[in-house]
Amino acid sequence: MASLEMLPVVSGTKDGRFAKALIYVGSGILIVAALAAIFAPLLSSWGPKEIDPSGTLAAPGGEHLLGSDGNGMDVWSRVLHAARIDLGIAVLAVALAVVVGTLLGLLAGYLGGWVDDVLMRIVDIFQAFPTFILALAVSALLGGGFFNLVITIAAVNAPAYARLVRAEVRTLREMQYIEAAKTSGASTLGIMWRHLLPNSLTPVRVIAPLNCGWAMLTLAGLSFLGLGVTVPTAEWGSMISLGTSDVVAGRWWTSVPPGLALLVCVLGFSLLGEGLQERADAKSRR
Amino acid sequence: MRILRFVGRRLLQLIPVLLGVVVLTFLLVRVLPGDPIRSILGPNATEADADAARARFGLDQPIWKQFLDYLGGLVTGDFGTSIQSGASVTGEMALRLGPTLELVFIAVSIAIVLAIWLGIWSARRADTVGDHSVRIFALFGNSIPEFWLGLVLILVGYAALGWFPAPSGRVDPDTNLTPLTGADLIDALITGNGPAISSSAAHLVLPVLTLVIGVLAPLLRSVRASALEVLRSEAYAAAAAHGLPERTLLRGYLRRATLVRLPSLAALVFGTALGSTVLVEYVYSWQGFGQWALRGLLYRDYPVVQASVLIIAFAYVLVFLIADVVHAWLDPRVKI
């Protein structure tokens, strides 16, 4: 019967400790990444677009800490500077998706009727595609560049938030405190803003960090395919893409470092999201 | 009978969604900037050349006429003619689907088996070191950029160790493989082409491994979560309290109840895999559906874009429908 002891008895404290560790490590990684992005020029002796004509594909060590790429640009400097674009686009896009999606979900969920029908049919069409494929199609049609990418990634994610918030609002609106607010004469807008919005955001808070990680992967994937940010702007996905032929030739330093940086940042968001999720689950079990 | 009615109703519900996809793709690809004709003509073409080419592809017609023609073709399974290659889109697509489905199918199958095994293993050891390691592994898998993982595998498996062939196709052309389905391993098996079997299998290893790792992580998390739910249920606690043997508990109670969730998980993962395969095909020069669709998008090849977008949407919603039916069939509690 020894194995019965291994059966999961809900152990709040131990659960909590793992969740806390996840949250701390995740936020730690993200803080370091943000600092690296902010202080990138101080941490590298080359500019992100500066070309060293005498040193294309220089091996790591020597003048270039992590070597240089096929254009003679410093890999270390570009990896650091790319954090600005990658983190910036991902966070902005998710913020935009949350705002737009939440508003639409709020409207659809609370008003119901034809507003709900129309909005949800549009959401259905968006969700008839795997998200990366949708991002691919939208960005291929819309074109690259900072703001187009923010819009693309936000547009692909907003429907999920709309659906999430709508479901939440539909349960919330049957609650007694909403009835109470109504009978005491609160306006529709007031109820939505003061009561429904804050309470429907609970699941959004858990999903948003995970979504930021996903947004970074999507952005890098698009750039890798040549649809997102293009050379010479420093961005991890396009750096990895630039190093593809080097990899086949056995040179690791042009593609591996930007991918590692991307992995670590996304992992930061994943750890944070997982920790928050774990904490939310533990709370709902209690 | 009830299942048939359910499937019928769901198929009817799909019609407006797919019609929306058809209309939106048709309009968006035309409204947004980019001209498919200019990209095939080259820089020295005159305006008259462009007009002639437009007329050849029916692009000089009013947009509603073009749309009706497109719809008329769709009904008979004709997706039109590719502007880039001048070949039938239906034919091109048939050639490209095989290789991609081969990749996705093998990877998803392996990932599902691994996820069930690891997920249940992890859930039974919830909050131990083993469980935490599995979860951290899943987090890594969720966070890793597949295209980069593919490159790292090439770096190790091809450039450093030389165990696997160069990432430049699906099979060694010297094996003279006769293409039948487009899925090279299957073609090689059917034609009994020995060298092609080993060559296509060797070409499959790295891309499949790349996809498996990307797909495994989300599956693993879901299997673990649903196994945990079963373990915490009263039914399971009662069975365990009755002193049922460990094996009966694992097979009859835990595994079966967890498996019930699998169809919907597999459907979800199928979508993830479809997205990832575009990147993985690119890394390994796989020449599958993903690369074909991507090229179509980049060159604004209207018929190719329309066909590939519609097929992906159709496959995706269809897989979810199948998943719901299988779920209802596996789980008697589900009423449809």
The answer to whether residue B88 sits within a structural domain is no
Chain A residues within 8 A of B269 when measuring between CB atoms: none
pLDDT in tens, chain B (336 residues): 677 888 888 888 888 888 888 888 888 888 777 777 877 777 777 778 888 888 877 788 888 888 888 888 888 888 888 888 888 888 888 888 888 988 988 998 899 899 989 998 998 888 788 888 888 888 898 899 999 999 999 888 888 788 888 887 787 777 777 777 777 788 888 887 778 888 888 888 899 999 999 889 888 888 888 888 888 888 888 888 888 888 888 877 888 788 877 887 788 788 888 888 889 998 888 888 888 988 888 888 888 888 988 888 888 888 888 888 888 777 777 765
Q: Into how many domains does chain B fold?
A: 1
Distance CA(A46)–CA(A261), nearest Å, equals 18
Asked if the model's pLDDT at residue A12 lies above 70, the reply is no
Q: For the domain that residue B280 is a member of, what is the CATH number? A: 1.10.3720.10
Range of the domain at B267: 96-300
Question: CATH classification of A48-269 is 1.10.3720.10, yes or no?
Answer: yes
Nearest by CB to residue B275, choosing from A132, A252, A274, is A132
Distance CA(A28)–CA(A43), nearest Å, equals 19
Q: What is the pLDDT of residue A251?
A: 83
Chain B residues within 8 A of A136 when measuring between CB atoms: 275, 278, 294, 297
* Complex ipTM over 0.85: no
A70 or B254, which is more confident: B254
The answer to whether residue B71 sits within a structural domain is no
Distance CA(A81)–CA(A90), nearest Å, equals 15
The answer to whether residue B85 sits within a structural domain is no
Mean pLDDT lowest among A25-29, A155-159, B154-158, B328-332: B328-332
Distance CA(A204)–CA(A164), nearest Å, equals 8
Nearest by CB to residue A247, choosing from B21, B151, B271, is B151
Chain A residues within 8 A of B313 when measuring between CB atoms: 128-129
Q: Which residue of B has its CA nearest to A218?
A: B145
A44 or A28, which is more confident: A28
> Is B230 within 8 Å of chain A by CB?
no
- Å between B209 CA and nearest CA of chain A: 18
The answer to whether residue B141 sits within a structural domain is yes
Stated pTM of the model: 0.85
Between chains, do B232 and A248 touch, taking CB under 8 Å as contact?
A: no
Domain boundaries, chain A: 48-269
Which residues in chain A (114-173) have CB-CB distances under 8 A to chain B?
121, 124-125, 128-133, 136-137, 140-143
